[in-house]
Structure 1
Amino acid sequence: MVVALVSPGQGAQKPGFLTPWLELPGVREKLSWWSQLAQVDLVELGSKADADAIRRTDATQPLLAAAALIAAAELPLGDVTITAGHSIGELPAAAIAGALSADTAIALAGARGREMAKACELAETSMIAVVGGQADEVLTAIQAAGATAANRNSPGQVVAAGPIAALEKLKANPPAKARLIPLQVAGAFHTDAMITAQTALSEFASALEVSTPQKILLSNADGAAVTSGKDTINRLIAQVTSSVRWDLCQETMKDLGVTALIELPPAGTLVGLAKRTMPGVEVLSINTPDDLILARDLIARHGVHPTGEPSVQFSVATASVKGHFAPLAELNEGDAVAAGDTIGHIDTRQGPVPVTAPTKGVLVEWVAHPRDPVAPGHTLARLTPGGAA
């Protein structure tokens, strides 16, 4: 019995989809903090913004990452074996697997959205869904038109991307028995059109702290399990210009014996694919907090139960702005701190910005050191919650 927890990609969002989640204790406050890291107002985007506003690449990507992580925090993740995400969904999946902190995933999602939006402005590109047809004939037609198979979601669903002229050529010479559906997107994601975004993200990610995944984390590139923190971040950056192979992720899940698949909000797309390509697997979409009861029940019935062995859990203090870090001179590793205590500040051109402890606990390690350059989402310090190491 194996549970897979999956996160959707861009296009799954709907106006107001986060509204019911704001009623949960602490969610509004968490989203307000993540809004600083992502440099967009996640509360406004998730509850009041219209369809056009949340279609913007710089808005959609951190919004989807935040939604997935908000819901995942309400689940018994210790019983979940596999995590995976489609495109931007791979970032919250990495955080759920323990390879990134939630704060780091949100900051990276914000940077990813901004840089991909900039890349979209450099040339006229777009994407078209190709539904049906023979798989080899579809791929041949896409290549002949000068486009790229950017998403291979299942044998009968491929997304072509590239210059407008190439997509027009594909429409003029479609593969047999296939339907072409133009997508309302800003550009050709997961192609070489995003190379400037990939370069910028590589620089942004160079100072991020990553860890070896504690769950099986499947990569969009080839459906393989990621083996290290370095592999995780390298694949997340490379993913911007490479095809999403969700078809291979599903094949790996079947090979690993997945018996239940839960899609985090805004859910429906990946569950729909699973129903067609993973017969016999029990699936569930989480879209509101009301769905959490069913999700917990599904995990209880299919999940891997904890061993009961003790493990140390850490919380992290992260940067909210770009600048240079200055830890509090009188605070040393091993000292106890209370939630909200100032543990240092970040020197910016506008002046110092305080850094506070996210929880009560013990300062275990300074990750950033005096005068280290930092950016939003960079981990500054690790703490053990609860006041004891």
Structure 2
Amino acid sequence: MKAYVFPGQGAQFVGMGKDLYEQHQAAKDLFERANEILGFRITDIMFSGTDEELKQTKVTQPAIFLHSVIQAAVAQDFAPEMVAGHSLGELSALVANKVLAFEDALRLVSARALAMQAACEEQPSTMAAILGLEDEKVEQICAEVNDVVVAANYNCPGQLVISGTIAGVEEACERMKAAGAKRALILPVGGAFHSPLMKSAEAELEKAIMQTEFKHGICPVYQNVDARPHTDPQEIQQNLIKQLTAPVRWTQSVQQMIADGATFFIECGPGKVLQGLVKKIDKTAEVGQVS
């Protein structure tokens, strides 16, 4: 079975999507429609902007989303039997399996990015990558720290990202190293994504999500919050609202997809990060890039 997977923030690069724009009229039309909806020419930043311009959350998230969904739209033999996306990538997955219309999803991505940016500005916060510790040990150490710090991204065995206040994450990192972590590295991100500190962003996004039409998909989406397959529009809606403050259960999602019959994981969007994570989760899984 073919599983299509969609990357999240961090996969962006200058020049992303330019080949799609130049080679496919359908892609060009979608990019131009996106420029209209967003109210600025995001294609100029994607194709020939600076790294700094592309790193702005209000640009990064729509840029990755557009690259992913437009690549899927023009791909040959695009026939997903299951889909999943890492954080932001879940919205790309919901367009690919026809739960969300392109325009509606782009508006949600933009609203999500702006809400997250505002939450980051409310309270300085950060994230850190922890390598070489078991998930249970990371969770235990986070629980022992008095400040807000939680497990945020279960990326693959031995690679977990934590999220919280700057003081909380710094203290947790010291404790992780003392407990034997190979690395505990503060990440260059604007805030504590997938933590309770995103509560204000969740409330903002909930308003936008509840005003958006969600349809029955053509195949299940394995959602970040519970790593389970979903087809019911209301369930998908509720899980998407919870996603900003809940951890991304990527390891568990891939394991569940394999248990449910996935044999080939095809990454759709910029970069190859998810292919690498899938191979670390299960060496026997086949991976590839959409073409």
For Structure 1 versus Structure 2, the TM-score category normalised by the shorter chain is over 0.9
Normalising by structure 1, report the TM-score: 0.71
Matched residue, 1:122: 122
1:96 aligns with 2:96: yes
Listed one character per residue, the Cα deviations across residues 18-60 of structure 1 (whole Å, up to 9, x for unaligned) are 2222212322332121123234432012111221211111111
Alpha-carbon distance between aligned partners in 2 of 1:194 and 1:37, rounded to the nearest angstrom: 25
Matched residue, 2:209: 205
Deviation at 1:9, TM superposition (A): 0.6
* Pairing 1:268-347 to 2, within 5 Å after superposition: 268-286=272-290, 292=291
Letter of the 1:202 counterpart: E
1:230 aligns with 2:240: no
DSSP-derived class of the 2:122 partner: coil
Contact 2:155 2:250 in 1 (8 A): yes
Matched residue, 1:22: 21
Matched residue, 2:69: 69
Instruction: Count the aligned residue pairs.
Output: 286
Alpha-carbon distance between aligned partners in 2 of 1:13 and 1:159, rounded to the nearest angstrom: 19
Alpha-carbon distance between aligned partners in 1 of 2:39 and 2:86, rounded to the nearest angstrom: 23
**Where in structure 1 are there 5+ consecutive unaligned residues?**
287-291, 293-389
Letter of the 1:59 counterpart: V
After superposition, the Cα gap between the structure-2 partners of 1:151 and 1:40, relative to the gap in structure 1 and judged at 3 Å, is farther
* Pairing 1:140-155 to 2, within 5 Å after superposition: 140-145=140-145, 146=147, 147-155=149-157
Matched residue, 1:159: 161
Q: Decide which structure has greater strand share.
A: 1
After superposition, the Cα gap between the structure-2 partners of 1:44 and 1:208, relative to the gap in structure 1 and judged at 3 Å, is same
Deviation at 1:256, TM superposition (A): 1.2
Matched residue, 2:246: 242
1:3 aligns with 2:2: yes
Matched residue, 2:255: 251
Alpha-carbon distance between aligned partners in 2 of 1:40 and 1:276, rounded to the nearest angstrom: 39
Deviation at 1:155, TM superposition (A): 1.9
Kindly, what percent of the aligned residue pairs are identical?
29
Alpha-carbon distance between aligned partners in 2 of 1:4 and 1:229, rounded to the nearest angstrom: 20
Matched residue, 1:42: 42
After superposition, the Cα gap between the structure-2 partners of 1:190 and 1:17, relative to the gap in structure 1 and judged at 3 Å, is same
Alpha-carbon distance between aligned partners in 1 of 2:175 and 2:281, rounded to the nearest angstrom: 28
Listed one character per residue, the Cα deviations across residues 211-246 of structure 1 (whole Å, up to 9, x for unaligned) are 112211110011101131111122112101111000
DSSP-derived class of the 1:79 partner: coil
Contact 1:32 1:42 in 2 (8 A): no
DSSP-derived class of the 1:159 partner: strand
Deviation at 1:285, TM superposition (A): 2.7
Alpha-carbon distance between aligned partners in 2 of 1:233 and 1:25, rounded to the nearest angstrom: 32
Deviation at 1:171, TM superposition (A): 2.6
Alpha-carbon distance between aligned partners in 2 of 1:279 and 1:179, rounded to the nearest angstrom: 23
Deviation at 1:254, TM superposition (A): 1.1
**Where in structure 2 are there 5+ consecutive unaligned residues?**
none
Q: 2:183 aligns with which of 170, 179, 187?
A: 179
Q: Which has the larger radius of gyration?
A: 1
Contact 1:40 1:59 in 2 (8 A): no
Letter of the 1:169 counterpart: E
Contact 1:94 1:232 in 2 (8 A): no
Alpha-carbon distance between aligned partners in 2 of 1:272 and 1:172, rounded to the nearest angstrom: 27
DSSP-derived class of the 1:240 partner: coil
Normalising by structure 2, report the TM-score: 0.94
Letter of the 2:65 counterpart: A
* Pairing 1:97-112 to 2, within 5 Å after superposition: 97-112=97-112
Contact 2:138 2:151 in 1 (8 A): no
Aligned CA RMSD, in angstroms, stands at: 1.5
Contact 1:148 1:191 in 2 (8 A): yes
Alpha-carbon distance between aligned partners in 2 of 1:172 and 1:280, rounded to the nearest angstrom: 35
